[in-house]
Amino acid sequence: MNKLIELKNLTKNFDDQQVLRGINLDIYENEFLTLLGPSGCGKTTTLRIIAGFEEPSDGQVLFNGIEISKLPPYKREVNTVFQKYALFPHLNVADNIGFGLNLKKVDKSVIAQKVERMLKMVGLEGFEKRDVTLLSGGQQQRVAIARALVNEPKVLLLDEPLGALDAKIRKQMQVELKKIQQEVGITFIYVTHDQEEALSMSDTVVVMNNGEIQQIGSPTDIYNEPENRFVAGFIGESNIIEGVMIKDYLVEFDGFQFECVDKGFEDMEEIEVVLRPEDLDIVDPEQAKITGIVRNITFKGVHYEILVETDLRTYMIHTTDYAEAGREVGLKFGPEDIHVMCKMGAY
Amino acid sequence: MRRRKSGSIWMILPLYFFTLVFVAGPLLYMVALSFAEPGAGYGVNWSFSLDNYKRILEPVYLSTFVQSFKLAVTSTLAICLIGYPFGYFMAKMPPSRKKKAMLLLMLPFWVNSLIRLYGWIIILQNKGMLNFILQKLGLINEPLKILYSYPAIVVGMVYVLLPFMILSVYSSAEKLDWSLVEAARDLGATKLQAFVTVSLKLTLPGLLSGIILTFIPSMGLFFIADILGGNKIVLVGSLIQEQMTRGNNWPFAAALAVVLMILTTAMIFFYRKLTNAKELEGLG
Amino acid sequence: MKKNSKLSGFYLGLIFFLMYLPIAVVVVFSFNQSKLPVAFTGFSLEWYDKLFHNSAMMEALVNSLILGVLSCAISAVIGTLGAVGLSRIHWKSKGILEYISILPLMIPEIILGMVLMAFFYMLGLPFGMLTLLIGHTVFCVPYILMEVKARLVGMDPSLEEAARDLGASPFRAFWDITLPLIMPAVVSGSLLAFAMSMDDVVISIFVNGPRLSTLPIKVYTQLKTGVTPEINALCTIMLGVTILVLILYSLVGKHKGGKNEQTDRA
């Protein structure tokens, strides 16, 4: 795959506030890349810099190897789907979609044709003359996507496009967005704070916090091998425990030593361990090293969420087995369930 | 809803009473009066005649209407050109500066308009500041006679009415979703194209309501023409006032007012047709 | 981007300068020794002294203040009750009533002034404080009505319903819940109405009668006949009062716009 966009050491200050602190990121052709993070982490700013709505305070944006950070938005081969769609209320569906082509003085009949094809792709055939303000959220969303894609950009930027939709339509749109991306075969850069959205659609997930990239990787990497406490905590639920890496493949926490699959740390390095709740099993106390008392059990639909209090902390366990409150139990997990990560300072 | 009704009637009664007696009543009386004939003194002979309306068509009075109309159009045009960019720029400012600008805008708006006009008299008079500066700069030899002229009236009109235009443009530009402008830019529009195709179109209701809010009063603000125009130019407003006080012809004044009222209502009607809006932007 | 905002900043600054220029000129000349507003010959408080000893002027000021306060108070009651009532009642005539009640803001003042004069004459009302009061109330009510109405639109209707649900009578629900919530709008509307009343010439000149004079009328007649610098002093004082009122207004406004706009730059 070819590199399409390179962000080099991007920083951005608003007044005295540093919103981006040195972002380095390569984005490839045909990639579905998601910028994931809590609000205020700098993901939208990064997107707006790529779109050309903001200039970086420092650093470079390369597009096919050419520096574009000073280029105005209308000269870039990228288009944006805005958070609240930003459909022009005074134009109908067809005029909204044809807006960009109209500016380029494309022939009217060609525009009509392209608009029709786009509407078909997003599943809104026959909506040409509708008033955009009267469409449902999901429909407005589709028009916004069509309006951006009709210009045949090399990259489509999506800023929390599903945020305003209700849960059911959101699920449906996730599937459709992925389908559209594969159909048109261009790069999508997607911004969201919803980890589930990020994991289910993306080829690459970029986890951001405090204006810095925390981890770049495939959804499975991010989930299974979080590089630090922030990523582990932000993606899915986890038990995060401080410990010590005795040597390769051997880690100690909560007063016990466990075999693990991680290596490459220094001997006796202080680390943190992630244990995902669904990787933990409830067993009889004598079968496990770590034991504790069941404090709370909640039915979550598919599984139970059980809180087990040990001498040192409370573990969260997701399991289909029932364990009544007050019972003493053991916690069992295999070497592959232990994820060791570098210790972070401030969290 | 029904349950709440009984308790609410007493709240609305004062408004009903007051509005019907002191707003609707006088306006209806004006219409009736316009068909009557003047009697002795302030008296009125009740009859039904169209004489008053016919009289408006006499060249003397018709030219007053035309003159007022011309002045109103000139003033409104100037107000649009000055006020639209002002309101638009103001809406684009960051929130903290917006508040300060709003305060600055409202302050002179609240100072008695006569005082502010008097300030202009001081500036514009023959031996005033403007002529002094122009002469010092060597741009003119003789002082310009600006005061008591047509341009002075326009200056006064613009000055007094400008805030109305600014406020109504501002309130409509405020509501403008800036991401729409960004969207237009993103879709390939230059700044100018984005402004014309999106911003201007969407702030048009504000501009139109600003036009109404300035055009209508400018037909009636007789005191501006009085003070700055030195009675040289007779406007409909001045004419009505004269007929009410010195002329003692109330029915004719009423007819003039009815015509003015019809013009006003027609403008508001067209505004609503054009924008589908219920209320004028920026009022209140 | 930066160049543009500088340009628009310059433009706003220029217009603001022109807006304040005449006011500044008036203030400066109020401290002038010379009688002619041509050149500043020296600092003096003479005109303030003369102003305070000008009984006709002082009387006009008192008249204006009484008129402003009274018409503002009456309008506040009528306008506030009316706005709340209008939000609850669904009569067919409601739309027309609302339209007529804000009509005074939409028609030229001159029409309003002349029809009120003719109408009061027909009713046989003596021209004076009473007619001025009614006249000013006519154009003050809409300001308060619209401010309160705008505030009510943003209010959660279930608040009052909750009060009713908890056993409050309609009156108590209004007094304890709705009124405190709309109070900022009532106050800011009233202040606006007060300012308008203090500023009005057109309507006052038609309904004031031969003996009673308000401050704006006094200023107007002086401007027409001949100006003494006392007027500058008076203007400066009125400006001071207006600024005071404006500060009050903005303090109330702070309560009103309680939530700060926050832009999310995620």
Q: A3-224: which CATH architecture?
A: 3-Layer(aba) Sandwich (3.40)
SS3 B280: coil
d(CA A226, CA A273): 10
C265 to chain A, any CB pair closer than 8 A? The answer is yes
B277 to chain A, any CB pair closer than 8 A? The answer is no
**Quick one: DSSP state of residue A287?**
G
| E-state strands within chain A | 3-14, 17-28, 32-36, 58-63, 66-67, 78-81, 155-159, 187-192, 204-209, 212-217, 239-247, 250-253, 256-259, 269-275, 281-283, 290-299, 304-309, 314-319, 328-332, 339-342
Quote the pLDDT of residue C262.
34
d(CA C132, CA C146): 22
Cα nearest neighbour of A15 on chain B: B94
Read off the tokens for C52.
Answer: 């305070």
Q: Which residue has the higher pLDDT, C191 or A153?
A: A153
What backbone torsions phi and psi does residue A27 show, to the nearest 5 degrees? Answer: -120, 130
What backbone torsions phi and psi does residue A81 show, to the nearest 5 degrees? Answer: -105, 120
Quote the pLDDT of residue A124.
92
Q: Chains meeting C at 3+ CB pairs closer than 8 A? A: A, B
C264 to chain A, any CB pair closer than 8 A? The answer is yes
Average pLDDT over every residue of A54-81: 91
Q: Which residues of C touch A55 (CB under 8 A)?
A: 1
% of chain A at pLDDT higher than 70: 99
Q: What is the tens place of the pLDDT at every residue in A169-208?
A: 888 889 999 999 999 999 999 999 988 899 999 999 999 9
Query: C166: which residues sit within 8 A by CB, 6+ positions away?
Result: none
Query: What are the C-alpha distances in Å from A218 to residues A170, A199, A211, A274, B45?
Result: 22, 8, 20, 18, 93
Read off the tokens for C24.
Answer: 């500044």
What is the nearest CA distance from C188 to chain B, expressed in angstroms?
10
Q: Which residues of C touch A191 (CB under 8 A)?
A: 266
What backbone torsions phi and psi does residue A271 show, to the nearest 5 degrees? Answer: -135, 180
d(CA A331, CA A317): 9
d(CA A22, CA A99): 36
| pLDDT at residue C256 tops 60 | no
| pLDDT at residue B283 tops 60 | no
Mean pLDDT of chain A: 90
Average pLDDT over every residue of B205-217: 88
d(CA C184, CA C194): 15
| pLDDT at residue A75 tops 90 | no
**Quick one: DSSP state of residue C175?**
I
CATH class of A237-342: mainly beta
d(CA A180, CA A161): 14
Read off the tokens for C1.
Answer: 């981007």
Give the closest of C1, C265, C266 to A14, CB-based: C265
d(CA C32, CA C22): 15
Cβ pair C265:A45 closer than 8 A: yes
**CA A93 distance to own-chain centroid:** 30
| E-state strands within C42-86 | none
What is the nearest CA distance from C8 to chain A, expressed in angstroms?
19
Cα nearest neighbour of C40 on chain B: B129
Quote the pLDDT of residue A345.
53
Q: Which residue has the higher pLDDT, C120 or C226?
A: C120
Query: What are the C-alpha distances in Å from A303 to residues A167, B154, C73?
Result: 21, 78, 66
Q: Which residue has the higher pLDDT, C265 or A321?
A: A321
Residue B207: CA count within 13 A, CB half-sphere: 16
Q: What is the tens place of the pLDDT at every residue in A38-53?
A: 988 999 999 999 999 8
Q: Chains meeting B at 3+ CB pairs closer than 8 A? A: A, C
| pLDDT at residue A227 tops 90 | no
User: Residues C195, C199, C202, C203: is their CA dihedral positive or negative?
Assistant: positive
B166 pLDDT band, cuts 50/70/90, is: very high
Q: What is the tens place of the pLDDT at every residue in C192-246?
A: 888 889 888 889 999 988 888 898 898 888 888 877 788 888 878 877 877 787 7
| pLDDT at residue B5 tops 70 | no
d(CA A300, CA B259): 74
Cα nearest neighbour of A12 on chain C: C265
**Quick one: DSSP state of residue A131?**
B
Cα nearest neighbour of B200 on chain A: A90
What backbone torsions phi and psi does residue A225 show, to the nearest 5 degrees? Answer: -125, 60
Query: Domains plus CATH for chain B?
Result: 60-275 (1.10.3720.10)
Query: Domains plus CATH for chain C?
Result: 23-255 (1.10.3720.10)
Q: What angle do CA C195, C198, C200 make, to 5 degrees?
A: 105
Q: Residue B136 is which amino acid?
A: K
Give the closest of B179, B185, B188 to A151, CB-based: B188
Give the closest of B180, B188, B201 to A74, CB-based: B188
What is the nearest CA distance from A51 to chain C, expressed in angstroms?
15
Burial (CB < 10 A; 0-12, 13-18, 19+), residue C98, is buried
Read off the tokens for C123.
Answer: 């009713």
Beta bridge partners of A240: A274
Q: Chains meeting A at 3+ CB pairs closer than 8 A? A: B, C
SS3 B116: helix
Read off the tokens for A4.
Answer: 């399409």
For residues A163 and A174, is the Cβ–Cβ distance under 8 A? no
| pLDDT at residue C3 tops 70 | no
What is the nearest CA distance from A313 to chain B, expressed in angstroms?
47
A 10 A CB-CB count for A347 gives 11
**Across A279-293, B101-115, C21-35, which has the greatest mean pLDDT?**
A279-293
d(CA A92, CA B160): 40
SS3 C247: helix
**Quick one: DSSP state of residue B13?**
H
Quote the pLDDT of residue C265.
34
Q: What is the tens place of the pLDDT at every residue in B236-278?
A: 888 888 888 887 889 999 999 999 889 888 888 887 787 766 5
C245 to chain B, any CB pair closer than 8 A? The answer is yes
B175 pLDDT band, cuts 50/70/90, is: confident
For the whole model, what pTM was predicted?
0.77
d(CA A262, CA B16): 82
What is the nearest CA distance from C223 to chain B, expressed in angstroms?
7
Cβ pair C114:B241 closer than 8 A: yes
Q: What is the tens place of the pLDDT at every residue in B35-72?
A: 998 877 667 888 888 888 999 899 988 888 888 889 99
Q: What is the tens place of the pLDDT at every residue in C7-49?
A: 888 999 999 999 999 989 888 888 888 777 777 778 888 888 8
Cα nearest neighbour of C264 on chain A: A40
Cα nearest neighbour of A100 on chain B: B187
Quote the pLDDT of residue B11.
84
What is the nearest CA distance from B272 to chain A, expressed in angstroms?
16
Cβ pair C264:A55 closer than 8 A: no
d(CA C71, CA C190): 9
d(CA B263, CA B269): 10
Size of interface A-B (CB pairs under 8 A): 63
For residues A75 and A214, is the Cβ–Cβ distance under 8 A? no
**Quick one: DSSP state of residue B23?**
I
A 10 A CB-CB count for C100 gives 18
H-assigned helices in chain B: 2-19, 25-34, 51-56, 59-92, 95-110, 113-124, 129-136, 150-175, 178-186, 191-194, 201-220, 222-229, 236-245, 250-275
Q: Which residues of A touch B196 (CB under 8 A)?
A: none
d(CA C182, CA C144): 11
Cα nearest neighbour of A48 on chain B: B182
Q: What is the tens place of the pLDDT at every residue in B133-150?
A: 888 888 888 888 888 888
| pLDDT at residue C261 tops 60 | no
d(CA B69, CA C141): 29
A55 to chain C, any CB pair closer than 8 A? The answer is yes
How many angstroms separate the first and last alpha carbons of chain C? 21
- Nearest alpha carbon to residue C227 among C39, C28, C47, C61: C47
Q: Which residues of A touch C266 (CB under 8 A)?
A: 37, 39-45, 191, 193
Quote the pLDDT of residue A224.
85
For tokens 């594969």, what's the residue?
A182
| Lowest mean pLDDT, pick from A15-24, B275-284, C206-215 | B275-284
Residues in chain C: 266
Average pLDDT over every residue of B224-228: 86
d(CA A227, CA A324): 35
| Lowest mean pLDDT, pick from A296-300, B1-5, C21-25 | B1-5
C106 to chain A, any CB pair closer than 8 A? The answer is no
Burial (CB < 10 A; 0-12, 13-18, 19+), residue B222, is buried
For chain A, the structural domain boundaries read: 3-224, 237-342
| pLDDT at residue A238 tops 50 | yes
Q: What is the tens place of the pLDDT at every residue in A120-152?
A: 999 899 999 999 989 998 899 999 999 999 999
For residues C196 and C142, is the Cβ–Cβ distance under 8 A? no
- Nearest alpha carbon to residue A339 among A191, A182, A197, A233: A233
A40 to chain C, any CB pair closer than 8 A? The answer is yes
